[in-house]
Structure 1
Amino acid sequence: MRPERYSLSANIMTRASLLLAPVMLAGCFNDSPSAKFIDYQERIANVQESDLLPPPELTLVELPSKRELTKEIPRTTLGLVDSYQLRKCQLFGLIAERNSVLGKVQDQFRNFDYQLKLIDGLERCLASNQIELELKTSLQDILSVKYQYLPDYFFNLVYTSDAMRSQLNGHDWLVANKGSAALQVRESLTAFNQVAQFIATSDRATIERPPLLTPYQEQLEKSNVIGRLAFSLEASAHWMRTITNQLNTYDDQIICGKNRDSSRFKYLVNVFNNVFVEEVQPYLSYVDSEYQAIAQETQFVSALLSQSDANVYSLHQRHLEFKETSREHVKYWKGLFERCGRSLSSIRNN
């Protein structure tokens, strides 16, 4: 028979629920992946006949405030006479639109697209034989400034626009039974990545012009994928670290060997097969596959950060920690099975 401690006291469950309440913002408790981790740890503790280690404190994935992140960018202007000459190279209309009442209140997506259009227009005017040499000198200076600060325009767009903050902040889990969330925004992220590659390329004449980003704004604002992925990676890592600590802390409770009562080991093998292999590991694999699906497309998130900004947001670092905690967890099970003379053939490395 299995030990009778498989139902924990109500007060432990209540404390665990209260600690997790801030991050259960969507769906009922039992629908959350947290329920899988809670059940897994409880079953292990029951077999060990041990205390239940405190659940991890899960935190929301939140960017610093806009004020902390916004980079100041100097304004560049042209005199009215010089601006009029720009009709000859089809740039006057763009500048006039930007200086209109509506143009002056553009959101960051439209403002960034304006910077890309302006760069194209400036290069077109510099190549025109209808523009005076003196004006070309001024245009070249402006173009140099625009290229110099284009990374800052992009940084501000990614980290301070409402749409991208909605995309990057994470308050809830990815849910496997809803299919791949990554596919919803992959096209949008690819466009952002192309912009990042254009900015990072020194010889821009050799690279295709990046797409405008405003067409992707609504999708990125409404489909929170990167933030939920970041939350799921981080929260899963915290849970796996806690559960591995549970296993290691009370490992001496699991007895096996010749002429020893190995009942607890057999019960723990059942937990491994029925809970970890069937429930927890498939979810970890799902989260990992979601990361892999957009890993290349999310390089723009950190590609342009200076050294001082390195800790603003790192999906890659969260994934590394997620993988490390999964490996440490598997390492415990391998060690236990070896100690007890059993094969671990059913495990699927994450």
Structure 2
Amino acid sequence: MNRCAALGLIIVILGLLTSCTQRQGLNSLLDNYHYRLSNVFEFEPSNNLLDIDENSLPSYPSRRELQQPLSPVSVNLLEFLRLSRCDLQRLIGERNSSLGKFMPDSQMLVYHLRFIALAKTCRDTLVSVDNHSLAQAVADARQTKINDLPKVRWNASFASQEFQQLFSHAAPPLTLTETASDSAALTQALRYLQQFLLIEAEDTLPSFTKLESHYAVVASDKFIGRLLRSQLVLVNVLSVLSDQIELANKERPLCPAGSLTPRGKVMQQVFLRFYIGEIQPYISGIYRQSRDVKQVIEDYLLLWPEYESQVFSAYWQQAWSDTQPTSIWQQYNRAVSRHTQVWQQQLQACGLRPGNNQINGK
């Protein structure tokens, strides 16, 4: 094995080890919380608490399902050759080349915007030399491209390969370290791309040199899919633990007389150290990053609602809807709210109300 191959193998192994360690870190965090609660409330720990039903994770639609068909623009070969005085001729030639036929959706957006801009200049040039028939053909082709712009924008975003990666849940949930940071890089990249999606036919074209680097950020981490997986893990864990705490309290309350007991003091420490110190930061991180990224995506959807396909709408309703009670996002918010209420009720039952010094160990 040569040095380059050996180095590549080492990098792959280190990547796998890092991924495994991150998953184990999150599992350890939640397992430990589960274990501490089972000791305090004296219930039998649940098996496979962290396992989720993969079928309950909504899958992002395929590119084939999402892509909008574009209108063909036919330019007669003789007319095409007569366009040689225009830069449009070179652009069309690039599009019809072997590489041009396999343009990614991002470059198809660039091509359409450049075509519209160059066609306007070309039409004016042809009019100036009294070639009105060809000028009209170019104007018609330009209008076709303008009419297709909303479809091209949709294809360059929700139907693109990069968005397929962004929404893919074929990756582990976020770690505590990742939720402690923010999603600024992703939201910045999405906002940058949004500027290009808002370019109109008569706008001056910006530089496209940084476009692909921002697409690379969008596709880099399956971030939205990982957020959704993280939410579902928390739905499962928090729902089960809330059930177990409530059931245990009915059978054997920690503080039957409404005042702090020795078992209640242990509960207090578990609440402060493990719930407030570890679990709540993870819950808050998932919520904050989900909220921020979700807002950007919803802003995208406002740009061209007429091209929001039925399959995308079905996915969004199942995954991120604010109005569909069964969406993962709604389930997550309910599970968090319920678990918070369970803790509040438990603290009150032991005389540890908000503002009570005992809740802070004083």
The TM-score with structure 1 as length reference comes to 0.74
Shift of 1:261: 8.5
Aligned to 1:229: 227
User: 2-side partners of 1:181 and 1:79: how far apart?
Assistant: 53
Shift of 1:94: 0.7
Contact persistence 2:146–2:201 (CA under 8 A)? no
Contact persistence 1:58–1:238 (CA under 8 A)? no
Q: How does 1:51-130 map to 2 (within 5 A)?
A: 51-53=44-46, 55=49, 57=52, 59=54, 62-126=59-123, 129-130=127-128
Assess, with a 3 A threshold, how the Cα gap between structure 1 residues 278 and 342 changes in structure 2: closer, same or farther.
same
Shift of 1:209: 5.2
User: 2-side partners of 1:191 and 1:91: how far apart?
Assistant: 27
Count of paired positions? 319
Assess, with a 3 A threshold, how the Cα gap between structure 1 residues 193 and 324 changes in structure 2: closer, same or farther.
farther
Contact persistence 1:254–1:262 (CA under 8 A)? no
Contact persistence 2:91–2:115 (CA under 8 A)? yes
Contact persistence 2:25–2:175 (CA under 8 A)? yes
Q: Secondary structure at the match of 1:174?
A: coil
User: 2-side partners of 1:345 and 1:260: how far apart?
Assistant: 16
Shift of 1:58: 5.0
Aligned to 1:150: 149
The answer on 1:324 being equivalent to 2:334 is yes
Q: Secondary structure at the match of 2:282?
A: helix
The answer on 1:44 being equivalent to 2:41 is no
Shift of 1:319: 4.6
Contact persistence 1:115–1:146 (CA under 8 A)? yes
The one-letter code matched in structure 2 to 1:41 is H
The one-letter code matched in structure 2 to 1:32 is G
Contact persistence 1:193–1:297 (CA under 8 A)? no
Q: What whole-Å deviation, never above 9, does each CA across 1:203-251 have from its counterpart, x for those lacking one?
A: x478775764334344444344333233323333333333223333433
Aligned to 1:7: none
Shift of 1:76: 1.9
Aligned to 2:189: 188
Aligned to 2:344: 334
Contact persistence 1:185–1:219 (CA under 8 A)? yes
Assess, with a 3 A threshold, how the Cα gap between structure 1 residues 302 and 268 changes in structure 2: closer, same or farther.
farther
Aligned to 2:274: 275
Aligned to 1:214: 212
Aligned to 1:238: 236
The answer on 1:311 being equivalent to 2:314 is yes
Assess, with a 3 A threshold, how the Cα gap between structure 1 residues 30 and 298 changes in structure 2: closer, same or farther.
closer
Assess, with a 3 A threshold, how the Cα gap between structure 1 residues 339 and 207 changes in structure 2: closer, same or farther.
farther
Aligned to 1:343: 353
The TM-score with structure 2 as length reference comes to 0.72
Unaligned stretches of 5+ in structure 1? 1-23, 199-203
Shift of 1:96: 1.1
Unaligned stretches of 5+ in structure 2? 1-16, 323-327
Shift of 1:276: 0.6
Paired residue for 1:34, among 27, 36, 54? 27
Aligned to 1:10: none
Contact persistence 1:71–1:156 (CA under 8 A)? yes
Shift of 1:49: 1.9
